[in-house]
A and B are shown apart, each in its own frame.
Chain A
Amino acid sequence: MGKVIVGHISEFPERSGRVFRMGSLELALFKLSDGTVKAIENRCPHKHGKLSEGIVCDHHVYCPLHDWKIDLHDGIVQAPDQGCVNAYRVEVDGDGEVILFLEDGLEAKVS
C-alpha cells in the first residue's frame, strides 16, 4: 500500500471538492487555482462536516456546516477555532494522473 491513482486531473474542477473513499477512509480532494491537488480527511474536527463541500479560497477550505477554516497544506484549523485534520500528500504526474500517498496518513489513522 502506498500510492494510489485516484483519477485524472481533468476530473477535478478547480476550487471544488471531490470525495475519495477507500474502506473506512474518506478524503476530500481539491484542485487549487495554482493547479496543485490537496487531500485532507473529509471530516471537520468540529461537528464532522463534509469538508469536500466547503468553499475553497487560496489554500484554505471553509467547513460548510459552521464555517471553520482549515489550511489544506497541513490540515490545521485556523484561529479562533482549534484542531486539525489529517493531510495527505498528493502529486500529479506527467500524464496528469493524480497520485495519493497514503502511508503517513494511514498510520496516523490507526493510532
Chain B
Amino acid sequence: MKKKLVMIGNGMAGVSFVEQLLKLNPSGYEISIIGAEPHPNYNRIMLSSVLAGDASMNDIILNDWHWYRDNGIRLLAGQEAVAVDTAQRSVTTSAGERLQYDDLVFATGSLPFMLPLPGADKAGVIAFRDIKDCETMIETAKRYRKAVVIGGGLLGLEAARGLINLNMEVSVVHIHGYLMEKQLDETASRMLQAELERQGMKFLLAKQSDAILGEERVTGIAFKDGTREDADLIVMAVGIRPNVLLAKSSGVEVNRGIVVNDFMQTNVANIHAVGECAEHRGMVYGLVAPLYEQGAVLAKRLAGAESGGYHGSVLSTKLKVSGVNVFSAGRFAEQPGTKSLRVQDDLDGVYKKVVFENGKVVGAVLFGDTSDSSKLFSAIRSGKDYTGSEREVLFGPAGSGGGGKGGASTADLVTAMSGDEIVCGCNGVTKDDLAHAITEKGCASVADLKACTKASGGCGGCKPLVEAILTATLGADQVAQAKEGICGCTTLSRDEVVDAIRKMRLTTTKEVMHVLDWHHPEGCSKCRPALNYYLGMAFPEEHEDEQESRFVNERNHANIQKDGTYSVVPRIYGGVTTPEDLMKIATVAEKYRVPLVKFTGGQRIDLLGVKKEDLPGMWKDLDMPSGYAYGKSLRTVKTCVGNTFCRFGTQDAIKMGVDLEKKFERLNTPHKVKLAVSGCPRNCAEATIKDLGVVAIDGGWEIYVAGNGGTRVRAADLLTKVKTEEEVLGWTGAYLQYYRETANYLERTSEWSLRVGLDAIKRALEKQEDRDALNARIDKTLELTKDPWKEIIESDSLRSAFETLTSPAGS
C-alpha cells in the first residue's frame, strides 16, 4: 500500500524535492501537488530572462504536463489549498476537494511584499513574482511608455532591465542611498549604478514613496520629500515574505517562516516544509541553491535514506542583467575584527573585495570580473585558514608572476567540499553525482560529465569547478589522456579527420566512419553535418551532398521555429529591392496568411510562421532565389547608400555589396558568414562587426575581418587596404576560402581568427599567387552551386518530401 504524499505548492523548491524523492524511492508514495498557478513547474529565476526577451515562457518550464503524468503525480493546477485538518490528516482545496495525506509538505514559497501606499490598488500597480506579472509587463509595454520600479535590489533591477528591453522608460526608486545594499558595498554599488545608467536606467535614490497617483489607472508616484515622478506602470519589488498563512491557521509553528528542524520537520507530526516558506535556525532563504539542498534532505528523510540533515547555507548572489557581472557571498561588510583585501580598477570597471576573519575567507564582492566567484565561494564554505597567505586567494601563489588567477589551490577547495554540495545550480548536480559518474560510469572529460549528468549544461558557470572535481578525482594525467575528438563517436580531431579525408580521398561520410573506426555505425547529430561539410570542402566535385546529414534548416531551406513552423527569406542582393519584388512578396505573404513579416538584422524580409507543406508553393510564387537565412553559408551583405545618394559617400557601396553577394551566394562555410559594405568611414552598415566588412575610403577600400555582433561582440581587425573593386573581390574570395579550409565546423570567423592568429591569416593571403590559388578553389566550388528553392520546385520527388502523408479514404 503506497503512502499518500500531498504537497502544497508547485514551485522550484517543492518540485525539486519531489524529483529527488522519485529518484530515491520511485514507488513509495502516491503524490498529489496543489499549485495555485495554472502552469506546470517553471523556473522563476528565469522570469527576468523572459522579460529581457532572452527566453520564452515555454523555455522556462522545468517539468511539463507530461512529466507529472509520466510519474503518476496528480497536479491540481489553478487550485489553492484552503484548510489543513491535522487531526484527520486532510487538505481541502479551493475547488472543494479533500485530499488525505500520510505526509504533508508545505512548499508554499513566498509572496511579494506590497507597500501599503495609498493608491496601491490602482490598475497598473503590480509585483514581479510570477508569469502573470511578467505577462502584464509585456502587455503594458505595448501601450504605455513610462515605468517606475520601486526597489533597487536584485529583483527590482532585473525587472527594470526587462522593462528597458521592452522599450519602456524606467526609473528605479530606492529607499537606500545606493543600490543592492544587502549584496554589495558602496564602491561596487556605485560602479553598478554607472553601468546601469549607461544602459538607460534612471535612479531616484534615498527616496521614500508616499502615495500612488491617478484615477482608475496609475499616473505617477509622489514621494515624502514632495517630489513626483510620472508613471504608467509601477512595479513593486521591495521584498518577499514567506507564505505562511495556511500553515499558521493549521496550528503549525510559525515565526517569520514555518519553523523546521534540520530534517525539515515542523512541530506537527508528518508535516514538513521546504523552500522560501521555511525558517531554519532563524534563517529564511530566497535563493535557489539552499532550497535545493533542503529538498534533498527532505527527500532522503521521506525515502528512509540516511542523511546528516540540513545545516544552513552560505549565500551567494549573481545579478542576471546583461552586460553586468556582479557577485557577492557571505559576510562582505567590514566589521571589527575583519580585514579585507581590495582591488579597484576604474579603467576596466573591475572591483574585487575579499573579507577575512581570523585568516578565513568569510565574504567577497566582485564587480566587472566574476571569474573568481566559484573559487571564493568554495573558500568561504571550506573555512580554510589562509593566515599568512591571504593574498594568494586573489593573486595566486607568490612566484607565479602575480596578478594571475590561480589563488588557493583548487584541489584543496574541491577536497573541502561536502559530497551533497550542489556544483551545478542549473541542474542540481552535486559533487557526489559527479564523483559517481567519474568512478562508476567512466566519465573522463567535462563533455562526458555534461552528457552523463547535465552538469555545466545550463549557464556553464560551474564549468571550472566541474573540471577541478574531475582532475581531483581522476588525477591530472588521466584527464589529459582523455582526448576529445570532434564528437563522442571518435577521438580524432578536426585536423586528423580532414587530413584523412584528403589523403585517402574519402568522399562519403560512411567511408569516413568506416575507415576511421567510428564508435557508432552512423555517427551522431554532431559529426554527420561536420563530415558532410569537410567532404564538400575538400572534394567539391566528387562529394555528393548528403541531405540526410544536414540539419533541418539546410534540408528544408528555411529556418525552423520553436513551434515547428518555418521562416522564409528571399534573396535581396545588397538590400536593394524593387516595387515589383515588394509587391510579389506582399502578395505571397497574404496568399499564405503569413502571421509575421519583419526585416532581418541583415536588411532582408522575413516571412515567419509558414507551414512546412506551404514552403514549395511559396517559393514558386515568389519566384526569387533563396536568401540562405538558414544555412551555414553566406547570409547577407548589408550596405549603406554610399555615394549613390549620400553626401558623405566616397564609393559605390551598394554596387560593391551587390557584387559581393552575387559572387559568393550559396557558398557553404563552416558557420554562417555575414558581410557588409560601408560607403565611408562613418560606417553606417556597421561593417566592422561582420565576418568580413568593407569600408570605403577616399580612393580605396579597407577590408576588415573576423568581427562579430553575436553573443560575444568583437570588433573586426583590419586585414588590408586596396584600391580597386576587383581587389576587394579577390581578397574576399581568398579570405573566405582560407576560412573554409582551416576552420572547425561551426566555428565563426571571430573564434577561428583568435585560434589561428590574425598574423597567420595575413601571411596566408600575403602573396598574389596564394590568393589566386585560393580563389581558383572557391570559384570551382561556387560554379557547382544551385538554387535549392528552384531545384525543389522543379523536382517532383524532392517536393514530395514536404508533403504530409494521410490515411487513404476508407482504410
A binding-site residues for B, Cβ under 8 Å: 3-7, 11, 13-16, 18-22, 29, 33, 45, 47-50, 53-58, 62, 64-65, 67, 69, 79-80, 83-84
Cβ–Cβ contact B528 & A57, under 8 A: yes
- Is B579 part of the binding interface, using a Cβ–Cβ cutoff of 8 Å? no
The smallest C-beta distance from A46 to any residue of chain B, in angstroms, reads 8
Give the complex CA separation of A32 and B552 in angstroms: 17
The smallest C-beta distance from A21 to any residue of chain B, in angstroms, reads 5
Given known contacts A21-B804, A62-B524, A80 and B548 CB-to-CB distance under 8 angstroms: no
**A residues in contact with B521, CB < 8 Å:** 58
Binary per-residue interface labels of chain B (539-580) against chain A in the complex, 1 for a CB within 8 Å, 0 otherwise:
000000001110110011000101010000000000000000
The smallest C-beta distance from B9 to any residue of chain A, in angstroms, reads 23
Cβ–Cβ contact A58 & B522, under 8 A: yes
Cβ–Cβ contact A55 & B451, under 8 A: no
- Is B515 part of the binding interface, using a Cβ–Cβ cutoff of 8 Å? no
Top 5 A-B residue pairs of the complex, sorted by shortest distance between their CB atoms:
A62-B525, A53-B552, A15-B548, A57-B522, A64-B552
Cβ–Cβ contact B805 & A13, under 8 A: no
Give the complex CA separation of A110 and B67 in angstroms: 17
**B residues in contact with A16, CB < 8 Å:** 547-548, 555, 801
- Is B768 part of the binding interface, using a Cβ–Cβ cutoff of 8 Å? no
Give the complex CA separation of A47 and B560 in angstroms: 13
- Is B337 part of the binding interface, using a Cβ–Cβ cutoff of 8 Å? no
Cβ–Cβ contact A53 & B556, under 8 A: yes
Cβ-neighbour of A19 out of B59, B525, B804, B808 (below 8 A): B804
Cβ–Cβ contact B807 & A22, under 8 A: yes
Give 14 CB contacts A-B under 8 Å. A5-B808, A16-B548, A18-B801, A18-B805, A19-B612, A20-B806, A50-B564, A55-B549, A56-B522, A57-B522, A58-B520, A67-B525, A79-B451, A84-B70
Report which residue of B66, B453, B522, B525 has the largest number of chain A beta carbons within 10 angstroms of its beta carbon: B525
**A residues in contact with B547, CB < 8 Å:** 13, 16
- Is B452 part of the binding interface, using a Cβ–Cβ cutoff of 8 Å? yes
Give the complex CA separation of A3 and B808 in angstroms: 11
- Is B536 part of the binding interface, using a Cβ–Cβ cutoff of 8 Å? no
**A residues in contact with B67, CB < 8 Å:** 83
Question: Which residue of chain B is the closest to A20 with respect to CB atoms?
Answer: B805
Cβ-neighbour of B807 out of A4, A45, A53, A83 (below 8 A): A4
The smallest C-beta distance from A77 to any residue of chain B, in angstroms, reads 11
Question: Which residue of chain A is the closest to B548 with respect to CB atoms?
Answer: A15
**A residues in contact with B800, CB < 8 Å:** 11
Give the complex CA separation of A58 and B807 in angstroms: 27
Cβ-neighbour of B562 out of A65, A69, A80 (below 8 A): A65
Interface contacts beyond A4-B808, A53-B556: sample of 5 additional A-B pairs, CB < 8 Å, sorted by A:
A16-B555, A29-B805, A33-B522, A56-B548, A80-B454
Cβ–Cβ contact A6 & B522, under 8 A: no
**B residues in contact with A69, CB < 8 Å:** 524-525
Cβ–Cβ contact B806 & A57, under 8 A: no
Cβ–Cβ contact B805 & A54, under 8 A: no
Give the complex CA separation of A80 and B64 in angstroms: 17
Give the complex CA separation of A67 and B524 in angstroms: 10
- Is B811 part of the binding interface, using a Cβ–Cβ cutoff of 8 Å? yes
**B residues in contact with A56, CB < 8 Å:** 522, 548
Give the complex CA separation of A5 and B66 in angstroms: 30
Cβ–Cβ contact A20 & B552, under 8 A: no
**A residues in contact with B14, CB < 8 Å:** none
Give the complex CA separation of A11 and B800 in angstroms: 8
Cβ–Cβ contact A49 & B70, under 8 A: no
Cβ–Cβ contact A14 & B548, under 8 A: yes
The smallest C-beta distance from A47 to any residue of chain B, in angstroms, reads 6
Give the complex CA separation of A5 and B807 in angstroms: 7
Give the complex CA separation of A48 and B453 in angstroms: 22
The smallest C-beta distance from B806 to any residue of chain A, in angstroms, reads 6
The smallest C-beta distance from B39 to any residue of chain A, in angstroms, reads 15
Question: Which residue of chain B is the closest to A33 with respect to CB atoms?
Answer: B522
Question: Which residue of chain A is the closest to B553 with respect to CB atoms?
Answer: A64
Cβ-neighbour of A53 out of B58, B66, B523, B555 (below 8 A): B555
**B residues in contact with A48, CB < 8 Å:** 564
**A residues in contact with B806, CB < 8 Å:** 20-22
Cβ–Cβ contact A79 & B805, under 8 A: no
Give the complex CA separation of A50 and B806 in angstroms: 17
Give the complex CA separation of A64 and B612 in angstroms: 14
| 8 Å CB interface, B440-468 against A | 451-454
Given known contacts A4-B807, A5-B811, A21-B804, A55 and B454 CB-to-CB distance under 8 angstroms: no
Given known contacts A22-B807, A45-B66, A64 and B522 CB-to-CB distance under 8 angstroms: no
- Is B407 part of the binding interface, using a Cβ–Cβ cutoff of 8 Å? no
Report which residue of B66, B70, B547 has the largest number of chain A beta carbons within 10 angstroms of its beta carbon: B66
Given known contacts A49-B564, A53-B556, A80-B451, A20 and B804 CB-to-CB distance under 8 angstroms: yes
Cβ–Cβ contact B525 & A57, under 8 A: yes
**A residues in contact with B70, CB < 8 Å:** 83-84
**A residues in contact with B548, CB < 8 Å:** 13-16, 55-56
**B residues in contact with A62, CB < 8 Å:** 524-525
Give the complex CA separation of A75 and B452 in angstroms: 20
Give the complex CA separation of A65 and B56 in angstroms: 14
Question: Which residue of chain A is the closest to B453 with respect to CB atoms?
Answer: A80
Cβ–Cβ contact A55 & B528, under 8 A: yes
- Is B529 part of the binding interface, using a Cβ–Cβ cutoff of 8 Å? yes
Question: Which residue of chain B is the closest to A50 with respect to CB atoms?
Answer: B564
Given known contacts A21-B804, A53-B560, A58-B522, A4 and B549 CB-to-CB distance under 8 angstroms: no
Question: Which residue of chain A is the closest to B523 with respect to CB atoms?
Answer: A57
Give the complex CA separation of A7 and B811 in angstroms: 12
Given known contacts A21-B806, A80-B452, A47 and B522 CB-to-CB distance under 8 angstroms: no
Give the complex CA separation of A14 and B59 in angstroms: 32
**A residues in contact with B808, CB < 8 Å:** 4-5
**A residues in contact with B520, CB < 8 Å:** 57-58
Given known contacts A21-B805, A57-B520, A57-B523, A47 and B551 CB-to-CB distance under 8 angstroms: no
**B residues in contact with A14, CB < 8 Å:** 548
Give the complex CA separation of A54 and B547 in angstroms: 12
**B residues in contact with A83, CB < 8 Å:** 66-67, 70
The smallest C-beta distance from B462 to any residue of chain A, in angstroms, reads 16
| 8 Å CB interface, B568-611 against A | none
Question: Which residue of chain B is the closest to A85 with respect to CB atoms?
Answer: B66
The smallest C-beta distance from B567 to any residue of chain A, in angstroms, reads 14
Give the complex CA separation of A104 and B801 in angstroms: 27
**A residues in contact with B556, CB < 8 Å:** 53
Give the complex CA separation of A81 and B552 in angstroms: 21
Given known contacts A4-B811, A64-B560, A55 and B805 CB-to-CB distance under 8 angstroms: no
Report which residue of B58, B524, B556, B564 has the largest number of chain A beta carbons within 10 angstroms of its beta carbon: B564
The smallest C-beta distance from A25 to any residue of chain B, in angstroms, reads 9
**B residues in contact with A53, CB < 8 Å:** 552, 555-556, 560, 564
Give the complex CA separation of A83 and B525 in angstroms: 19
**B residues in contact with A11, CB < 8 Å:** 800, 805
Give the complex CA separation of A53 and B565 in angstroms: 11
Cβ–Cβ contact A13 & B801, under 8 A: yes
Give the complex CA separation of A69 and B454 in angstroms: 14
Question: Which residue of chain B is the closest to A1 with respect to CB atoms?
Answer: B811
Give the complex CA separation of A108 and B738 in angstroms: 54
The smallest C-beta distance from A66 to any residue of chain B, in angstroms, reads 10
Give the complex CA separation of A4 and B807 in angstroms: 7
The smallest C-beta distance from A83 to any residue of chain B, in angstroms, reads 7
Give the complex CA separation of A85 and B32 in angstroms: 24
The smallest C-beta distance from A90 to any residue of chain B, in angstroms, reads 12
**A residues in contact with B454, CB < 8 Å:** 80
**B residues in contact with A15, CB < 8 Å:** 522, 548
